[in-house]
């Protein structure tokens, strides 16, 4: 029998099991499928990495053996349970859309990978894999085998990698700067055509020395431009690095020909200066981006609170104040903000925030649980064994599993302009060069290079991200926390605002509670408070704080019915607490919000809440009615209708007795009528409506509000600033439009001087990064200026 080697994995096999495809032999359908994936996406260069690419390359064999050490793996993983594990790996070799495609399709190469998501700016891949089928070593070896070796550091992966990449850019700037300075110095006499014996004697030597300085500039300092241009062209994309790499190539090749044939000194000094100033511009952009990211990730922390139990006293604290060893109380539907061990109670945890898997995981006392899960039923106590990572919560909030598909208008515009801009620049350069070649041929090279360099949409591409990124930072400093820059774009388009009532326009800080009904025993009060202890609903929390009794600490059956209330069995007695519909009580028309009580099927009465509306609510609605349609969607009865009618503007639509699904359907109907809807709710019962709306904002007031459905979180203390936030969002879009105009005018003027031969390549190289700097400076000054209004 003839033996063949599988083209993909290299394993020898007999012709009995040979699978032929595209003139290649494969040992199985799996290897054939992987080849098809690479072939369809023009990624067959993968097979040049190794002669047997499906195997682990010899270069990385044993490289990741340390990832079998459990203590090391535990430090690297951000989440794990009995089935799944999640790790975020820094991959410096991510360069283009091809890289993103292959890394986000790792599950086709290794079925044990559930999903993988690439963060292109940070060059990271977040990978979810099945622990029973592979381990972290296997993941790392898979990445290494296809040319994407992860950079792993146990100390601080991201910061160490950023420092390494930052140093590499500085080295390239240093090389280009050294070559630029020395090549100008050595070429200085020829600038003025000095005729002197010793200069003429060593002219050739200095020219070749300048050439030697220029080689590392092209092949080291400027390498990234060529790599990016090549990969873009291979995928049929004309990115901005194409004209840049063309400009560098033209200068280098023309200059080399001149010194070889002794035609002149060439343009090495201009080329070195070009690369030097381009890298300076990149350094400036990178530093500014890192500054904005730092401000966003670490200073704009979420105002999430959690209940800490200390000496049997419950106190509400911000999660940044939690320390290792603290005992925390986690209620039903509440986020677990920190890794810990269950001390009391049994948990049913929904980890879909983290993994996308909605099947609850059962945990018992003594089990370890991870941050990001949501307790579904009942109350548990945990002991924290880590401090809280705000950056982890930011990442969790931005999990792509929960991102809504929103229009990124300016990103789309920028992408279209950038693509067409590059084509236009290449045409202008070719036509201008051809024209000058017939008039003054020696000028043609300067004109082509100047056109390729001066006309760059980099400044255009920076307008939107820097404007919106700075506004994110400003909003965060004023307690309005948005998920991403796209949310600001969508806020600017809003024309209809919808408010929930309880916990949104009403305040939980000040309230009056009265009980009407049959007299309750002390034991019944204790049992009611014990049930309330499990719930995170604003009314439950208010009543829990109001009742003076101490809750029982023993476990009991508990169930929360979203939108209706809670029920539980304590000492063989069935308690129901919630809306009138939960206890089969007819809706009353009284001016009240109430929690109704039923024990063992007998209606016992109700706790009536006197609503206290937030300070400035009337003024808020009066301002909003001038520019927006307004609606109230309340799950309560219409007993508050008269009060709301006098408090709110007369243009506000009022809808009562709205179940969570009713709110969602109402928003759908508005959107079908072309309304752009902003929904403000408490983040609990309103999750569906928040997800359906164009922008969903959760109000946070001393409760653990954390929902992936919302696009933003606003602190209740700045509730009255909502009109101003919306106004600033619109003004941010105006700033972007002005910066677009500024960028276009700059490019038109620059092209005029370049085409007419009045602009040298070195001046063009200086002006190119200056245009980016000027745009970033312009949008930063403008956004900081309009942001000053929030301080008033």
Domain ranges of the chain: 3-55, 59-154, 305-384, 476-506+613-729, 512-610
pLDDT of residue 50: 42
DSSP E strands in 53-123: the ranges are: 79-80, 84-90, 113-119
213 pLDDT band, cuts 50/70/90, is very high
- pLDDT average, residue stretch 750-764: 80
Give the CA angle between residues 609, 615, 618 to the nearest 5°: 95
Higher pLDDT, 599 or 681: 599
44 pLDDT band, cuts 50/70/90, is low
548 pLDDT band, cuts 50/70/90, is confident
What does each C-alpha distance from 65 to 60, 152, 721 come to in angstroms?
10, 13, 55
Q: Is the pLDDT score of 132 beyond 60?
A: yes
275, two tokens? 């690369």
3-class state of residue 510 by DSSP = coil
Closest CA to 270 of 757, 760, 772: 760
Question: How many Å separate Cα 116 from the centre of its chain?
Answer: 15
Query: In degrees rounded to 5, what are phi and psi of residue 301?
Result: -75, 155
Task: Give CA–CA dist 318/632, Å, rounded.
Answer: 30
pLDDT of residue 303: 46
Q: Is the pLDDT score of 728 beyond 50?
A: yes
Identify the CATH assignment for 59-154 out of 3.40.50.720, 3.30.70.100, 3.40.50.20, 3.50.50.60. 3.30.70.100
227, two tokens? 């790599």
Name the CATH superfamily, with its identifier, for domain 476-506+613-729.
Answer: HAD superfamily/HAD-like (3.40.50.1000)
Note the pLDDT tens digit of each residue in 390-423. 445 555 555 554 455 455 555 555 555 655 776 7
761-787 and 722-755 are packed helices; what angle lies between their axes, rounded to 10 degrees?
170
pLDDT of residue 670: 92
Q: Is the pLDDT score of 227 beyond 60?
A: yes
Higher pLDDT, 495 or 28: 495
Q: Is the pLDDT score of 674 beyond 60?
A: yes
Task: Give CA–CA dist 14/161, Å, rounded.
Answer: 46
Q: Is 595 exposed, middle or buried (0-12, 13-18, 19+ CB in 10 A)?
A: buried
Q: Is the pLDDT score of 606 beyond 70?
A: yes
| % of the chain surpassing 90 pLDDT | 8
pLDDT of residue 478: 86
pLDDT of residue 219: 92
181, two tokens? 């300075």
The class (CATH top level) of 512-610 is: alpha beta
Q: Do domains 59-154 and 512-610 have the same CATH topology?
A: no
CB environment 226-261: b (16+ within 10 A), e (fewer):
bebbebbeeeebbbbbbbbbbbbbbbbebbbebbee
* Stretch among 207-216, 422-431, 722-731 having the lowest mean pLDDT: 422-431
- pLDDT average, residue stretch 207-212: 90
Pairing relation of β-strands 24-26 and 712-715? unpaired
Task: Give CA–CA dist 178/213, Å, rounded.
Answer: 8
Note the pLDDT tens digit of each residue in 71-98. 788 778 877 777 888 888 888 767 555 5
CB 72 within 8 A of CB 154: yes
CB 340 within 8 A of CB 369: yes
* Stretch among 230-234, 465-469, 517-521, 678-682 having the lowest mean pLDDT: 230-234
What does each C-alpha distance from 11 to 31, 52, 56, 109, 458 come to in angstroms?
10, 8, 12, 17, 48
Q: Is the pLDDT score of 702 beyond 60?
A: no
pLDDT of residue 216: 94
What does each C-alpha distance from 368 to 336, 349, 384, 468 come to in angstroms?
12, 12, 10, 40
Q: What dihedral do alpha carbons 373, 127, 157, 400 form, nearest 10°?
A: -60
Q: Is the pLDDT score of 155 beyond 50?
A: no
How big is the chain by its Cα radius of gyration, in Å? 32
List CB contacts of 710: < 8 A, sequence separation 6 or more.
Answer: 483, 683, 690, 696, 697, 698
pLDDT of residue 53: 41
Higher pLDDT, 13 or 627: 627
61 pLDDT band, cuts 50/70/90, is low
* Stretch among 28-37, 490-499, 543-552, 764-773 having the lowest mean pLDDT: 28-37
pLDDT of residue 599: 92
The per-residue pLDDT of the chain, averaged, comes to 76
Identify the CATH assignment for 305-384 out of 3.30.70.260, 2.70.98.30, 2.60.40.10, 2.70.150.10. 2.70.150.10
CB 340 within 8 A of CB 365: no
Greatest distance between any 2 Cα atoms in the chain: 116
Q: Is the pLDDT score of 694 beyond 70?
A: yes
DSSP E strands in 142-292: the ranges are: none
Count Cβ atoms below 10 Å from residue 624 Cβ, excluding itself.
20
């Amino acid at each position: 029998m003839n033996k063949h080697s599988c083209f993909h994995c290299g394993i020898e096999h007999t012709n009995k099991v040979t699978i032929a495809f595209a003139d290649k032999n494969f040992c199985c359908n799996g290897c054939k499928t992987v080849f098809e994936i690479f072939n369809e996406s023009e990624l067959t260069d993968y097979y040049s990495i190794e002669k047997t690419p499906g195997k682990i390359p010899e270069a990385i064999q044993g490289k990741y053996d340390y990832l079998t050490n459990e203590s090391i793996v535990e430090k690297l993983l951000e989440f794990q349970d009995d089935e799944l594990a999640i790790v975020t790996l820094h991959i410096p070799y991510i360069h283009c859309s091809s890289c993103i495609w292959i890394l986000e399709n790792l599950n086709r190469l290794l079925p044990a990978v559930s999903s993988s998501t690439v963060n292109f700016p940070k060059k990271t891949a977040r990978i979810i894999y099945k622990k029973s089928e592979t381990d972290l070593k296997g993941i790392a070896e898979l990445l290494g085998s296809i040319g994407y070796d992860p950079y792993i550091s146990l100390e601080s992966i991201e910061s160490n990698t950023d420092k390494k990449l930052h140093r590499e850019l500085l080295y390239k700037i240093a090389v280009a700067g050294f070559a630029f300075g020395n090549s100008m110095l050595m070429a200085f006499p020829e600038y003025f055509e000095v005729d002197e014996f010793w200069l003429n004697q060593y002219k050739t030597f200095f020219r070749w020395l300048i050439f030697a300085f220029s080689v590392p500039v092209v092949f080291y300092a400027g390498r990234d431009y060529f790599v990016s241009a090549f990969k873009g062209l291979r995928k049929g994309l004309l990115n901005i690095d194409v004209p840049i790499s063309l400009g560098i190539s033209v200068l280098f090749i023309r200059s080399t020909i001149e010194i070889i044939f002794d035609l002149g000194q060439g343009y090495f000094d201009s080329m070195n200066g070009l690369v030097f100033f381009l890298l300076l511009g990149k350094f400036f952009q990178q530093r500014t981006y890192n500054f904005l990211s730092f401000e966003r990730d670490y200073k704009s922390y979420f105002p999430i609170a959690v209940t800490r139990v200390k000496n049997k006293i419950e106190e509400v604290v911000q999660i940044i104040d939690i320390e290792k060893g603290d005992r925390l109380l986690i209620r039903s539907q509440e986020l677990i903000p920190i890794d810990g061990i269950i001390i009391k109670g049994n948990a049913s945890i929904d980890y879909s925030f983290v993994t996308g898997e909605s099947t609850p995981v059962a945990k018992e006392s003594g089990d370890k649980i991870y941050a990001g899960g949501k307790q579904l039923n009942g109350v548990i106590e945990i002991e924290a064994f880590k401090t809280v990572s705000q950056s982890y919560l930011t990442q969790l909030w931005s999990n792509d599993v929960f991102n809504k598909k929103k229009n990124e208008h300016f990103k789309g515009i920028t992408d279209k302009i950038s693509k067409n801009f590059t084509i236009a620049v290449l045409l202008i350069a070719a036509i201008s060069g051809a024209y000058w070649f017939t008039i003054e041929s020696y000028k043609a090279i300067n004109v082509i290079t100047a056109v390729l360099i001066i006309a760059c949409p980099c400044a255009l591409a920076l307008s939107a991200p820097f404007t919106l990124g700075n506004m994110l930072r400003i909003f965060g400093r004023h307690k309005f926390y948005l998920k991403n820059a796209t949310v600001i774009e969508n806020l600017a388009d809003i024309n209809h605002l919808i408010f929930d009532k309880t916990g949104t326009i009403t305040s939980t800080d000040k309230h009056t509670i009265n009980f009407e009904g049959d007299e309750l025993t002390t034991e019944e009060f204790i049992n009611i408070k014990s049930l309330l202890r499990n719930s995170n609903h604003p009314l439950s929390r208010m009543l829990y704080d109001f009742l003076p009794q101490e809750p029982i600490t023993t476990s009991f059956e508990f169930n929360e019915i979203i939108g209706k209330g809670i029920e539980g069995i304590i000492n063989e007695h069935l308690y129901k607490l919630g809306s009138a519909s939960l206890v089969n009580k007819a809706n009353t028309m009284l001016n009240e919000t109430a929690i109704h009580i039923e024990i063992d099927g007998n209606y016992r009465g109700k706790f009536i809440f006197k609503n206290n509306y937030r300070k400035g609510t009337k003024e808020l609605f009066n301002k909003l009615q001038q520019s927006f349609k307004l609606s109230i969607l309340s799950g309560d009865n219409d007993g508050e209708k008269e009060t709301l009618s006098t408090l709110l503007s007369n243009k506000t639509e009022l809808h009562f007795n709205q179940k969570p699904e009713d709110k969602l359907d109402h928003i759908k109907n508005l959107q079908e009528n072309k309304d752009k809807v902003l929904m403000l709710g408490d983040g609990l019962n309103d999750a569906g409506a928040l997800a359906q709306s164009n922008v969903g904002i959760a109000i946070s007031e001393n409760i653990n509000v954390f929902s992936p459905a919302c696009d933003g979180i606003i602190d209740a203390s700045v509730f009255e600033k909502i009109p101003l936030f919306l106004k600033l969002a619109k003004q941010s879009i105006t700033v972007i439009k002005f910066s677009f105009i500024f960028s276009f005018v700059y490019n038109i003027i620059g092209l005029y001087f370049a085409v007419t031969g009045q602009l040298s390549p070195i001046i063009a190289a200086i002006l190119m990064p200056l245009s980016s700097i000027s745009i970033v400076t312009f949008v930063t000054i403008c956004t900081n200026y309009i942001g000053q209004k929030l301080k008033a």
